[in-house]
Amino acid sequence: MSGRSHKDKKKSANALWGGRFDAAPGAVMEEINASIDFDRKLFAQDIAGSKAHCAMLMAQGIIPADDGNAILAGLDTILGEMESGDFAFDRALEDIHMNVEARLNELVGEAAGRLHTARSRNDQVATDLKIWVRDALDGLDGAAQDLQSALIDQAESHAAAVMPGFTHLQTAQPVTLGHHLLAYVEMVGRDRSRMADCRRRLNECPLGAAALAGTAFPIDREATASALGFDGPAANSLDAVSDRDFVVEFLGLGAILAVHMSRLAEEIVLWCSEPFAFARLSDAFSTGSSMMPQKRNPDAAELVRAKCGRVIGALTGLLVVLKGLPLAYAKDLQEDKEPVFQVADTLALGLAALTGMIADITFNAERMKDAAGRGQATATDLADWLVRVLGMPFRRAHRVTGALVRRADEKGCALDQLDLADMQAEEAAITAEVFDVLGVENSVNSRASFGGTAPANVRRAAVEARRRFL
């Protein structure tokens, strides 16, 4: 990049603003106004939008072909410089748009000034950001699919592994580990559906809306929209430049995804703790203690859990920025980019970490099965048997079962370890057949209703999940 003095750079900035300003901005104004430190991430999208706009201007006869071709060649040169890291970004030029235009002027001269015909930074940045978010959604969808794949693999391997199912974090009923893991496959599936919905809704092109009112030039907005992969142009110029619904929606679906990631991470933390000891992460996803040599800390899971707060905070922050903005564009909208970039990076890292942990984790099937039998977890199976076999109303069966649970607790044993005489003392009609439903394996095998935890169900559900999601 050719050398320019600080004074020359200030003049370039003023020239890009136009003749309205005689003096350069003060240091504080420059600091608060500049966005190049973060919006440089939009460079590929910005150049793609500029190339589409230039091609349209040429096709419409709005700018001469020679100038248009020079602009296109210059934009390709700038893209190469940025991709290779050779481009010298200048904070005095405020943002990615002015940095590109200033460099283009150095490369092709006065013809560069034709590129901004019939557009504004207002429609330009909205277009750039929509393309960036669209690309981010595609990347996150792939990462979320990878997590689903790892979960399904583990679910198939542990379709019959019995573990305690919890409500209120209290032992409730036995379930299978495969069934538990497939629950997260469903959650992430809904997250991916929200990504697809967001992508579809955002896919209207703002370019050509100009500053806010459209343009008097005979532009072809359908052509630029098509060239950039949009379904069509945004219908209202005021809305096109001021709409950030797509950013809010991206952060919103990101917040829901982050909550799902945090819940799974929390379970990994619990399962790897010594009181649970259901699972173990390898050294690749664990850390030690600087003081306690025996410790194995699931720090990767803890950090995924913690980063959920960043995503929720980003959503809340942007909603507060947007809530009082009148139409159309206001510089407040510059605050939309950093949270988007940060959330996309946070989600991508968290998904990669969770996928690695799920693929890496090993489960202690005997420990889980033993825990599943504690807390009288088959009490519901007993109540169901009383209804199904003896024809009791469920509420009466519930009371009888409660009395038998109390009796087992007093004896310090599980329900299936009670003598038949103890059971018949509470309900004379109970027979020895009741013991067929009281073991934890019998319990999970009996839960064969659609969506239930029976191993045969889990195996079928895993196959179906592969068909639906992978």
Known catalytic residues are 168, 289
Could you give the CA distance from residue 226 to residue 239 in angstroms, rounded to a whole number?
20
Could you tell me if 344 and 198 are in contact, meaning their C-beta atoms sit under 8 angstroms apart? no
Length of the chain: 470
For residue 392, the number of C-alpha atoms closer than 13 Å in the C-beta half-sphere is 20
Could you give the CA distance from residue 300 to residue 302 in angstroms, rounded to a whole number?
5
Could you tell me if 442 and 448 are in contact, meaning their C-beta atoms sit under 8 angstroms apart? no
Could you give the CA distance from residue 434 to residue 20 in angstroms, rounded to a whole number?
90
Which residue in 33, 41, 78, 56 sits closest to 335, CA to CA?
33
Could you tell me if 87 and 103 are in contact, meaning their C-beta atoms sit under 8 angstroms apart? yes
Could you give the CA distance from residue 244 to residue 290 in angstroms, rounded to a whole number?
46
Could you give the CA distance from residue 403 to residue 43 in angstroms, rounded to a whole number?
70
Q: Given its phi and psi angles, is residue 413 left (phi above 0), alpha (psi -120 to 50 degrees) or beta?
A: beta
Residue type, 405: V
Ramachandran angles phi, psi of 43, nearest 5°: -60, -45
Paired tokens of 107: 């490369």
Could you tell me if 145 and 130 are in contact, meaning their C-beta atoms sit under 8 angstroms apart? no
- DSSP element (H, E) containing 31: helix 27-33
From residue 278, give the alpha-carbon distance in Å to each of 29, 146, 232, 368: 57, 24, 52, 6
Please write down the long-range contacts of 76-84, taking CB distance under 8 Å and 24 or more positions apart: 77/107, 78/47, 78/103, 78/104, 78/107, 79/43, 79/44, 79/47, 81/1, 82/40, 82/43, 82/44, 82/47, 83/44
Report the chain's terminal Cα–Cα distance, integer Å: 46
Which residues fall within 8 angstroms of residue 399, CB to CB, at 6 or more apart?
Answer: none
